[in-house]
Amino acid sequence: MAEFTNEQAEEEFDKYTKNVTEDDISGVLEKEKEILKKAHGPLEKFAHNIKLFFSIIKDYANGKYREIPWTTIAAIIGALLYVFSPIDLIPDFIPVLGLMDDAAVLALCLKGIGQDLKKYEQWKNQRAVEYKIVND
């Protein structure tokens, strides 16, 4: 398959996110190292966001950050599970092209959750500032 359309990205994204449950949180966290290893080539520009995705999932799971809709958590988990899957619409073993569909799904996810992600980053940065003030 030479081309991956936005419609195909939306279909794959929907397929991976529609049945996400709280049980999938631990499953995706177990795959963190393997998913982060894939953040090269077409996925390199998403490396920061992938790390942020794992951070938000961890903070959600341990109850530190719950100011986020479940649909956003499900979208993140679905996108990460799609990236993890080596056999998706374009199998990952195909050089460069194999990660293009993963990049499209990540971009679609980011587009849909951008505001929630921005709020989380602000919260995370504020906590870091507060921690620094307390510990200085």
Give which of 99, 48, 102 is closest to 80, Cα–Cα.
Answer: 102
- In the numeric block, the tokens 């956003």 are attached to 72
Cβ atoms of residues 38 and 102 within 8 Å: yes
pTM: 0.88
Q: SS3 for 106?
A: helix
Reported confidence tier of residue 14, pLDDT bands at 50, 70, 90: very high
| C-alpha distance from residue 2 to each of 40, 79, 90 (Å) | 20, 21, 9
Residue 121 lies in a domain: yes
Range name among 21-35, 49-63, 120-134 with the lowest pLDDT average: 120-134
Dihedral-angle region of residue 104 (phi above 0 means left; psi in -120 to 50 means alpha; beta otherwise): alpha
Containing structural domain, residue 24: 6-135
Cα distance between residue 81 and residue 102, in whole Å? 10
Count the domains in the chain.
1
Per the CB < 8 A criterion, the answer to whether 77 and 57 are in contact is yes
Confidence band of 119 (pLDDT split at 50, 70, 90): very high
* Residues 99 and 112 sit within 8 Å (Cβ to Cβ): no
> Is the pLDDT confidence value at 3 over 70?
no
Q: How far apart are CA 29 and CA 91, in angstroms?
A: 22
Is residue 12 domain-resident? yes
Q: What percent of the chain has pLDDT over 90?
A: 67
> Quick one: tokens of 81?
């599970």
When pLDDT is cut at 50, 70 and 90, the band that residue 9 belongs to is confident
Q: pLDDT, tens digit, for every residue of 71-102?
A: 999 999 999 999 998 777 677 777 677 788 88
Residue 1 lies in a domain: no
Q: Is residue 117 part of a domain?
A: yes
List pLDDT tens digits, range 39-76. 888 899 999 999 999 999 999 999 999 999 999 999 99
